[in-house]
Amino acid sequence: MARAAFAATSEAVPLDAIAREAGVGIGTLYRHFPTREALVEAVYAAELDEVVSSAPAFLADLAPEAALRAWMDRYAAFFQIKRGMSDTLRAGWASGSIATPATRERITAAIALMLRSGAQAGSLRSDVASEDVTMMLLGVFLSTTASDSPERVGQLLDLVVDALRPQAARNT
């Protein structure tokens, strides 16, 4: 429930609204998450774990290029949820009340896994650093707003995937 509430807006979400949406009282919410920071940290950590672990899962079911594109959609959803938590995350990281996760490193490692698989299959370029793809994705997410349509974000992600195809594949 908290994930959906954070994804719905880039504004701070009142905790009583999250409790109400979850069908619990505010006291129950506070027993599990004594502070806003504790709730945000738990949601963020769970989302990050899911994004990172979805990369091998997508590769198990899809061709590398399709797996990468599907994973990008999952990462976009994570970024959307993160927008609703951004103020709390920044303040918590600055104060030390929220642990600073190795987000970029974990995301970059997931991308590297898919790039290697795609390079071996010949469907993705072998000369692109996973760090560069991470930066391209952040550019897409930071240049779009919460009010941009998912279709717009999807079009930009399609362009990123197109840039990652070998030159011969882009010319066909």
CA distance linking residue 43 with residue 26, whole number of Å: 17
Band (pLDDT 50/70/90 cuts) for residue 28 is confident
Check: CB of residue 161 under 8 Å from CB of residue 72.
yes
Distance of CA 166 to the CA centre of its chain: 25
Check: CB of residue 29 under 8 Å from CB of residue 15.
yes
Distance of CA 9 to the CA centre of its chain: 16
Residue 64's alpha-carbon distances to 90, 107, 134, 171, in angstroms, are 34, 16, 17, 19
Residue 58 or residue 85, greater confidence: 58
**In this structure, which amino acid lies at residue 158?**
D
* pLDDT one-digit tens code per residue, 32-74: 888 888 888 888 999 999 999 999 999 999 999 999 999 999 9
> Looking at residues 72-100, what average pLDDT do you find?
88
78 Cβ partners below 8 Å, 6+ apart?
47, 48, 50, 51
Q: Output the pLDDT for position 31.
A: 85
Least confident of 26-30, 93-97, 159-163: 26-30
Nearest to 134 by CA among 81, 71, 62: 71
* pLDDT one-digit tens code per residue, 90-139: 888 888 888 888 999 999 999 999 999 999 999 999 999 999 999 999 99
Q: Output the pLDDT for position 140.
A: 94
Contacts of residues 139-146 at CB distance under 8 Å and 24 or more positions apart, as own/partner, are 140/76, 141/76, 141/79, 145/10, 146/9, 146/10, 146/80, 146/83
Pull the structure tokens for residue 7.
């994804």
